[in-house]
């Protein structure tokens, strides 16, 4: 299957996730209280940590390895099955303790149910890694699309029936069950009944460093929830969590498509550094071209966006989005560095950069909490700016790209987006005064922003403008 077809399948899968997340952030947000999202955010502190150990980095190691023998595949599979069972038991045991730590009795029941997710995922981790290694994204994407829709259907039904936070819990359980079933049934891999210590040791260094990096990343990404949930309460955490989910849209639903397709290609092209460098610059330029205007537009229209899509009870999220919108753009770029470092086998450097980022972010959250929820968001932005510089510099140096080259690659998109945001902000009061329908006024402002960015792109991005077709076409050339 061609790279273009793979990218389309991954993009289609992400489109299904976008629909699911949009419905979750609009329809479900109106059916559920902020406390429900706050409770899930607290549960995520535990489950996100558990997800880091569900495969100990073995899936990425299998994709990156030059050869995968049947013995290695079976060894990795049974390791993941055992880890899944162990993690599920540990979550169930820790549930009462976590409920006491965060002073939320309902957290224990949520964690008891979410513990069932990990034995299920352990059954399919290696199957999915092998499918992605072979670029069989059509199977993986099909499983993810059906799982997203099934989970959404369950959540909507339960929320409509007044199930509260349980609608979000069973959304995850249903989606995991469906995805695991499809991937295992469609995969051609059938594990043998043996486990080899030697085969495990052959990938232990790569997977070990990656696992440690993921642990560090976990603490840096969940420190805000820990601080807010402990100090400011679940209601405030729910508001922050919703704003954070909105900010993550470009990171999860655009850069994920690019990184997921690039990682197997870069891994196979480990010895062709020049080709990898050109492909990476193309990818970064494409990501900046898409995410910069989205985040600039979100910053400019954050208040009508929140009021129209989420409802008045989420109005406080608009204040937080003013700080998190630029974070979304920064993270969309920094998230690509992991793809470069893993494809080069440099998980040790990846771990060291992760430690630096974690230290910056944890310190920022502790300091920012003194000024409330907005202080946490502002400190988070400052930490991301400081972290982006070394992350982009060292990952770029691995493939012969300077930090200056990266900045020149994204500068036109940033300039066009800032100009667009200025125009939208300047026009917002005029449009709102002339058009009394809030939804129509919002759509007009979106149209003005899109038209402004299009014009600015023609002027500033003429030598740098990268369309989706040309980007994918370059991937096909590199892969061939």
Give the tokens for residue 105. Answer: 């009795």
What confidence tens digit (pLDDT) does each residue in 423-468 have? 999 998 888 888 888 889 899 999 999 999 988 877 766 555 544 4
In-domain check, residue 396: no
In-domain check, residue 460: no
- Report how many domains make up the chain: 1
In-domain check, residue 154: yes
Contacts within 8 Å (CB) and 24+ apart, 453-460: 453/293, 453/416, 453/417, 453/420, 456/415, 456/416, 456/419, 456/420, 457/289, 457/412, 457/413, 457/416, 459/416, 460/412, 460/415, 460/416
In-domain check, residue 53: yes
Task: Provide the domain limits for residue 97.
Answer: 1-195
Alpha-carbon separation of residue 263 from 259, 276, 333 (angstroms)? 6, 10, 15
What confidence tens digit (pLDDT) does each residue in 212-263 have? 666 666 666 666 777 777 666 667 777 777 777 777 765 665 665 566 666 6
The tens place of each residue's pLDDT in the chain, 480 residues long, gives: 444 455 555 555 555 566 666 666 667 777 887 788 888 888 888 887 787 777 766 776 777 666 777 888 888 888 888 888 999 999 999 999 989 888 888 899 999 999 999 999 888 888 888 887 776 767 877 888 888 889 888 988 998 888 888 999 999 999 999 999 999 998 888 888 877 777 667 666 666 666 666 666 666 666 677 777 766 666 777 777 777 777 776 566 566 556 666 666 666 666 667 777 877 888 888 888 888 998 999 899 988 888 887 777 777 888 888 898 999 899 888 888 877 877 777 777 887 888 888 888 888 888 887 888 888 889 889 999 999 999 999 988 888 888 898 898 888 889 999 999 999 999 988 888 888 888 898 999 999 999 999 888 777 665 555 444 554 454 444 444
In-domain check, residue 340: no
Separation between Cα atoms, residue 361 and residue 224, nearest integer Å? 8
CB 428 within 8 A of CB 301: yes
In-domain check, residue 249: no
Separation between Cα atoms, residue 432 and residue 402, nearest integer Å? 45
In-domain check, residue 11: yes
In-domain check, residue 18: yes
């Amino acid at each position: 299957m061609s790279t273009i077809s793979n990218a389309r399948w991954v993009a289609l899968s992400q489109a299904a996730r976008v629909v699911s997340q949009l419905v979750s952030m609009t329809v479900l947000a109106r059916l559920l209280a902020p406390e429900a999202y706050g409770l899930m955010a607290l549960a995520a502190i535990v489950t996100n940590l558990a997800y880091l150990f569900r495969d100990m980095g073995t899936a990425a190691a299998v994709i990156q390895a030059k050869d995968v023998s049947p013995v290695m595949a079976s060894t990795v599979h049974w390791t993941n099955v055992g880890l899944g069972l162990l993690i599920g038991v540990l979550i169930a045991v820790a549930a009462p303790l976590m409920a006491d730590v965060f002073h939320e009795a309902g957290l224990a029941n949520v964690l008891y149910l979410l513990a069932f997710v990990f034995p299920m995922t352990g059954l399919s981790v290696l199957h999915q890694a092998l499918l992605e290694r072979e670029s069989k994204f059509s199977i993986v994407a099909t499983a993810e699309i059906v799982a997203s829709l099934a989970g959404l259907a369950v959540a909507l039904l339960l929320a409509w029936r007044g199930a509260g936070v349980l609608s979000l819990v069973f959304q995850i359980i249903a989606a995991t069950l469906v995805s695991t079933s499809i991937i295992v049934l469609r995969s051609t891999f059938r594990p043998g009944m043996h486990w080899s210590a030697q085969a495990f040791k052959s990938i232990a260094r790569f997977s070990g460093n990656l696992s440690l990096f993921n642990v560090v990343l976990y603490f840096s990404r969940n420190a805000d929830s820990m601080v807010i949930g402990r100090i400011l309460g679940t209601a405030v955490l729910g508001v922050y969590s919703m704003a954070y989910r909105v900010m993550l849209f470009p990171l999860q639903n655009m850069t994920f498509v690019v990184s997921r397709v690039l990682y197997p290609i870069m891994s196979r092209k480990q010895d062709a550094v020049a080709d990898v460098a050109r492909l990476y610059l193309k990818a970064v330029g494409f990501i900046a071209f898409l995410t910069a205007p989205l985040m600039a537009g979100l910053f400019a229209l954050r208040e009508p966006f929140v009021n129209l899509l989420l409802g008045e009870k989420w109005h406080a999220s608009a204040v937080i989005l003013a700080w998190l919108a630029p974070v979304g753009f920064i993270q969309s770029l920094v998230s690509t560095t992991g793809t470069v470092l893993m494809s080069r086998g440099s998980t040790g450097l990846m771990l060291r950069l992760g430690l630096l980022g974690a230290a910056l972010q944890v310190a920022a959250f502790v300091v920012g909490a003194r000024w409330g929820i907005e202080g946490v968001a502002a400190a988070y932005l400052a930490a991301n700016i400081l972290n982006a510089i070394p992350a982009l510099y060292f990952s770029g140096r691995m493939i012969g790209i300077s930090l200056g080259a990266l900045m020149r690659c994204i500068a036109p998109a940033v300039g066009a987006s800032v100009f667009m945001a200025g125009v939208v902000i300047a026009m917002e009061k005029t449009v709102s005064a002339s058009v009394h329908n809030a939804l129509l006024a919002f759509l007009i402002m979106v149209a003005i922003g899109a038209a402004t960015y299009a014009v600015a792109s023609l002027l500033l991005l003429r030598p740098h403008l990268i369309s989706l077709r040309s980007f994918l076409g370059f991937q096909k050339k590199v892969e061939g």
